[in-house]
Structure 1
Amino acid sequence: MQKNDIVIGFIGTGVMGKSMAGNLLKAGYPLHIFTRTKEKAQELIDQGAVWKESIAEIARDSDVIITMVGYPKDVEDVYFGDNGILAHALPGTYTIDMTTSKPALAKEIFDKARKREIEALDAPVSGGDIGAKNGGLAIMAGGNEEAYRKVLPIFEVMGENIILQGEAGAGQHTKLANQITIASNMVGVCEAISYAKKAGLSPGRVLDSITTGAAGSFSLSKLGPRMLKGDYAPGFYVKHFIKDMTIALESAQEMGLSTPGLSLSLDLYRELAEQGGSDSGTQALIKLFEQ
């Protein structure tokens, strides 16, 4: 099928979902959208997206349905509710959950979708608001390979590093490994900037040196400068990172794996949230080190 024959339904147009949906529109895909607050989707509607009044409408009228919501409970409601996707999508529909959620939930969606002749993929992403805007996200997919191949052109509009990691749930497991890596890294970035300041150095100049060396990372090069500017606008919310780390920690514990770096980072972010930082970007962690 040509892209203008494939109607995409997009549920959840938050910080990242809005840009991801916008890139699909620019690529020429007919787009139906639904989010809890219509006003937040107005920019996409102005660009040509068709607003639907319910998830059930999205499900009935779309060939491919992408979900990018907040928490596992939201995913359950969107997929399993009486007015949800699986109750109303037609056989042959493809669903793609790009929320960071529980691997077991991804498997449950896959199994229930199969019974209704619906193909389900889990495909969480990494790259924050920057990656979402420029179509450069890392997309970590789990599910049936044939289904993955069918929707790959859609993935290629939103991301660059796109890999099928395995069966249903594998995408979620991969994203949790990603979040575990970031968790300790963010603590290191904050400590490095604090150290540079204490040593009387120019922290910006220090970043110029260390971002291209062995210490280089997305967190250091993209979020470090935001920390120095006091820019705590969310590219990725603290509250959602806490959710991701909590799922990762629970999954690690279920497998009998010790993750001390993850545990420390989760404790620090929870402290930040208790101080009112839930809706800040993850780079706001530097505030704890500046106290």
Structure 2
Amino acid sequence: MTLHSKKIAFIGTGVMGASIVKHLLKADFDVTVYSRTKSKTAELVELGAKWAPTPKEAADGKDIIITMVGFPSDVEEVYSGQDGIFQTAKKGAVVVDMTTSEPTLAKNLYAKAKEKGIFSIDAPVSGGDVGAQNGTLSIMVGGDKEIFDELLPILQIFGSNIVYQGGPGAGQHTKMCNQLLIATNMIGVCESIAYALKAGLDIDKVLQSISTGAAGSWSLSNLGPRMIKGDLEPGFYVKHFIKDMKIAIEEAERMDLDLPGVKLSKQLYNTLLEKGYGEKGTQALIKYYVED
């Protein structure tokens, strides 16, 4: 079977998933999509994707099934629920969970898939809406190396930094390392901007000076300008970031590791959630420091 003859199902067409599907369609793949909110698939169907009413029907007969949903409970539902992927996925199919989820759950999915003669990969991503749109996502992969090698040409359609991390769950553990860095760095970005504003500085000139030196970061360069403009639209939702921090804290506790930095970040983001910012982007943390 040639690469382009492989049929793909994509479950979860949110902020990032929709852009990934567009890249797959542009590369002439046969793609079937499912989203709990059907309207989120409308543009993709117009571009040539097929629509399925359930994950089970989307997965039926497909060679590769990619999922990118919100929470670990959603992952369990789309795989193991009564309308889930495992109901119809054929032997030899590859399931790829790109949700940021629990390493323990990734290992469980791998085991369940193996029982059914299916190959399972955990492949969370980083890069936000911009990375998804530009096809430059960082993809962290756990699972069998030979399956990663087979899948790599497809991942390269929408990713530019794709690294095999190890066995099942290794991709998710790596994503937790990524989220830990973002969680504490975001505090620094917001406090720096809040300080500059209080000091009466020209914030654009401040960013020009500090974003390319030792203090530079992706969050500062990409989300800092959004904070200044008051643009809180999500590249990644606050509610999902809190979920990620919760996973990181729980996994760390299993390893007898204390992470006070991420605990503080989660506390600050929970304050935002209580104020109704759950559907906004992670840059909304600036609202903790600077109100309109």
Give the TM-score taking structure 1 as reference length: 0.98
Shift of 1:83: 2.2
Query: Could you tell me whether the CA contact under 8 Å between 2:140 and 2:164 is conserved in 1?
Result: yes
| Aligned equivalents of 2:39, 2:59: Cα separation in 1 | 21
Corresponding residue of 1:112: 112
The size of the alignment, in residue pairs, is 291
1:196 aligned to 2:196?
yes
Q: After the TM superposition, which residues 10-89 of structure 1 pair with which residues of structure 2 at under 5 Å, given as runs?
A: 10-89=10-89
Aligned to 2:168: 168
- 2:247 pairs with 1:247: yes
Alignment of 1:180-195 (within 5 A): 180-195=180-195
Range moving further from structure 2, 79-88 or 254-263: 79-88
- Mapping for residues 202-217 of structure 1, pairs under 5 Å: 202-217=202-217
Question: 2:258 & 2:78 partners in 1: Cα distance?
Answer: 33
Kept after mapping to 1: 8 A contact 2:210/2:216: yes
Structure 2 partner of 1:219: 219
Inter-partner Cα distance in structure 2 for 1:62 and 1:208: 48
- The offset of 1:200, in angstroms, is 1.8
Partner of residue 234, structure 1: 234
Q: Secondary structure at the match of 1:157?
A: coil
Question: What letter is aligned with 1:13?
Answer: T
Deviating above 6 A after TM superposition, structure 1's stretches of 4 or more consecutive aligned residues are: none
For 1:144-163, list aligned pairs within 5 A.
144-163=144-163
Where do 5+ consecutive residues of structure 1 fail to align?
none
| SS at 1:42 equivalent | helix
Shift of 1:87: 2.1
Whether contact under 8 Å (1:121, 1:168) holds in the other structure is yes
**Aligned to 2:165, what secondary structure does the other structure show?**
strand
* Cα separation, 2, equivalents of 1:71 and 1:184: 22
Distance 2:3 2:34 in 1: 20
The one-letter code sitting in structure 1 at the alignment partner of 2:226 is: R
Note if contact 1:3-1:28 (Cα within 8 Å) is conserved in structure 2. Answer: no
Query: In 2, Cα distance between the equivalents of 1:60 and 1:30?
Result: 13
- 2:189 & 2:177 partners in 1: Cα distance? 19
Note the C-alpha offset of 1:193: 0.4
CA RMSD of superposed structures (Å): 0.8
| CA distance in structure 2 between the aligned counterparts of 1:4 and 1:199, rounded to whole angstroms | 57
Name the amino acid aligned to 1:74.
Answer: D
Letter in 1 for 2:201: L
Aligned-partner Cα distance in 1 for 2:279–2:204: 26
Residues in 2 aligned to 1:57 and 1:277: alpha-carbon distance in whole angstroms: 34
Deviations 1:61-116 (A, max 9, x none): 31100000000000001111122111210101000000000001000000110111
- Residue 256 of structure 2 corresponds to 256
Ranges in structure 2 where 5+ consecutive residues have no aligned partner: none
